A = this chain, B = another copy of it.
Amino acid sequence: MKLTPPYAVFLGDADDNLGLKMANSIATWRPELCVGEVALPECSVTTGLPQVSIAAAAQQGAKSFVLGFNNAGGHIDNKYTAQIKVAIQHGLHIINGLHDKLTDIPELVALAQLHQVDLIDIRHPTTRFKTANGQKRTGKRLLTVGTDCSVGKMYTTLAIHQAMSEQGYNATFRATGQCGILVAGEGVAVDCVVADFISGAIEALTPANEPDHWDIIEGQGSLFQPAFAGVTIGLIHGAQPDALVICHTLRREFMRGMPNYRLPSIQQTIETNLLHARLTNPACKVIGISVNTSAVDEQTAKETCLQISQETGLPCSDPIRHGVAPLLHLL
């Protein structure tokens, strides 16, 4: 799976920022790869990128048109296909992170062939993976895990990768979801891999490397998520992590989309993740806690991080408010 920047980022008719995770990821982490954003008239939000038409984006050198929104159900509706067709006619590849596949829409397939551009469904792996072999690999690996889904694992992972690179570490960000893949230009959407191959896909994504090289691996789901824990444990086993960073968000009482399931405590999250990580790497340790404190004021954020740090004996930081440098002290 090879992505070709620069990108024109399509926002569709998005009306809140939650629906713009793909667009915001690339605009935040790789703005230099973005020509601008393209929006339908109904769209009421922005990534902050310049607003452009598809024609103008193509003229300014854009090579790919990124579907940067995520609607309920992940469907590619007719109102979007009209714009996708215009982009194809301007010679742009199409990058799609929705559940629906571009390659399942015959008229788009035909038009893409005519204009010799690629339709890239980045959630859907094109590789045939092997089952995991569990053998220890050279090189080091850091993995983010969480109390729940959507607690800041991708942001934390990218911020840690950036900080380690700046500090001179030999480190590679490894993407495991569609937004991370868009930022990295490659990766595996592990939630879309066939169950037998979850760990094997992660072994392939993070192969043996130089002894001082770090794979900084984006986590997915949570061991405490009744729908997605299979993805999480397979990712942990395949990653053989040397270091775990626990991600958490304040003021969330129940698991996302699961009103009958309370969030685990941070201590439970540490213990259960270590239990499973030590199966494939007995030396694994938790090096810190990353907390999304956006629900509280600055003073409360600082006090909360201090309290978590005292309770766990580990560094604790909000990567947006306070940066991730504290999370690297125990590396």
Interface residues of A (CB under 8 A from B): 131-136, 190-196, 198-200, 223-224, 226-234, 237-238, 255, 258, 260-261, 272, 275-276, 279-280
Q: Which B residues are in CB contact (< 8 Å) with A230?
A: 195, 198-199, 230-234, 237
- 7 A-B pairs with CB atoms under 8 Å apart are A133-B227, A134-B226, A194-B194, A199-B227, A200-B227, A226-B237, A230-B234
Assembly stoichiometry (copies): 2
Q: Which 9 A-B pairs have the closest CB atoms?
A: A230-B234, A134-B226, A132-B227, A230-B230, A191-B196, A198-B230, A131-B227, A226-B237, A195-B231
Tell whether A226 pairs with B279 under 8 Å between CB atoms, given A134-B260, A233-B233. yes
A132, A191, A200, A258 interface centre (most CB from chain B within 10 Å): A132
**A132 neighbours in B (Cβ, 8 Å):** 226-227
Q: How far is the CA of A154 from the CA of B280 in the complex (A)?
A: 27
In angstroms, Cα B133 to Cα A261, docked, is 11
Known pairs A226-B237, A229-B237; A190 contacts B200 (CB<8 A): no
A194 contacts B196, C-beta separation under 8 Å: no
* A275 nearest in chain B by CB position: B272
Give the distance to chain B from A70, nearest Cβ to Cβ, in Å: 14
